[in-house]
Amino acid sequence: MTPSKLGTVPPRTRSHVAVLMGGLSAEREVSLRSGAAVADALEGEGYRVTRVDVGRDVAQHLYELKPDACFNALHGKYGEDGCVQGILETLAIPYTHSGVLASALAMHKERAKEVMAAAGVPVAEARVVTRAEALKAHVIPAPYVVKPVDEGSSVGVVIVPSGLDRPPNSIAAGGPLDQEVMVERYIAGRELTCAVIGGFVTDVIEIVPLKGLAFYDFEAKYADGGSKHELPAEILPDVYQLVRQYTLKAHQALGCRGVSRADFRWDDTAGGTGELICLEVNTQPGMTGTSLVPELAAYAGWSFGQLVRWIVEDASCSR
């Protein structure tokens, strides 16, 4: 398949960029890796870069720093859910990726499902309960997936197979018992992902977890050799195009800006349903050495440096 090609990268118009990384979420270590890679690439593109390990004093720090723009390399709570976006809006500092509302919507899996389903993007049936309730008895028929309703990077995810009399104790290890979790119907089959960069829809990757991993979990995402990426995905042409169409629909319905990535499952198993389901939209896709969006951008003709330069030049307020 001939790859779709991105357009011309804009010239550098900004001088000083603050790269926000680290933060306060369970995904802190991944964010530090994303931020370091982004900062190195931006320096290679000629920007003056300040690396900001985000704490609760981030507003004061940025007020004193006065960068031309912030590259948001945070993942998870406080960085991906509209919180830091609100701070940057108040400080009137242009920032990357999605704005306050889109970030909050996409981060909350239940709300995101409602918006995507209304736009015609297929999603899996699910219920939101506390982790304690999910541990007490099967909330929906197995097999199903238990995951925090407002975390990313497969943090605290448990797959519950069929045939168990009661939910496994591993659910308790995923986080606090009073934490809200989504109990979602398990979709068998293949893991696919696609991204939007501005108005451009990328090609489609299939992610094949290695090392005996059951799904594209935290280790598969971030460990070297944790997964194999097939680009372009070797799937039916009509399914390939549907993934791209749904990726753009989800991006637009949630109000995303800049870069986003949508994850899917396609049930092509023997005797399976054949359904294509959107699992979620990531408004702050990873930028590590194993991350998918840089790989998709490279396939479309942009180096990592060109990608981060485009993201910085796209930064704004009122997103």
pLDDT tens-digit series, residues 40-81: 999 999 999 999 999 999 999 999 999 999 999 999 989 999
pLDDT band at 221 (very low <50, low <70, confident <90, very high): very low
Helix (H, G, I), strand (E, B), or coil: what is residue 95? strand
Pair (115, 232) in one structural domain: yes
What is the DSSP-derived secondary structure letter of residue 315? -
Per the domain annotation, does 8 fall within a domain?
no
Question: Measuring CA to CA, how many Å separate 292 from each of 23, 163, 218, 222, 300?
Answer: 22, 34, 14, 11, 12
Rg over alpha carbons for the chain, rounded to the nearest Å, is 19
Pair (132, 193) in one structural domain: no
Of 226-230, 249-253, 274-278, 313-317, give the lowest mean pLDDT range.
226-230
Enzyme catalytic residues: 27, 153, 222, 261, 263, 280, 282, 286
The domain spanning residue 93 has which CATH number? 3.40.50.20
Pair (161, 295) in one structural domain: no
Pair (199, 291) in one structural domain: yes
pLDDT band at 140 (very low <50, low <70, confident <90, very high): very high
What total of structural domains would you count in the chain? 3
Pair (234, 116) in one structural domain: yes
Please report the pLDDT score of residue 163 as a whole number: 92
Neighbouring residues of 133: CB distance < 8 A, sequence distance ≥ 6 = 139
Range of the domain at 156: 126-185
Q: List pLDDT tens digits, range 182-195.
A: 999 999 999 999 99
Numbers of helices and strands, H then E, in the chain: 10, 12
User: Which helix (H) or strand (E) is 256 found in, with range?
Assistant: none
The yes-or-no verdict on residue 223 having pLDDT over 70 is: no
pLDDT band at 226 (very low <50, low <70, confident <90, very high): low
Per the domain annotation, does 7 fall within a domain?
no
Q: List pLDDT tens digits, range 293-319.
A: 999 999 999 999 999 999 999 999 999
Please report the pLDDT score of residue 215 as a whole number: 47
Per the domain annotation, does 304 fall within a domain?
no
Interhelix angle 28-44/304-313, nearest 10 degrees:
90
The yes-or-no verdict on residue 285 having pLDDT over 60 is: yes
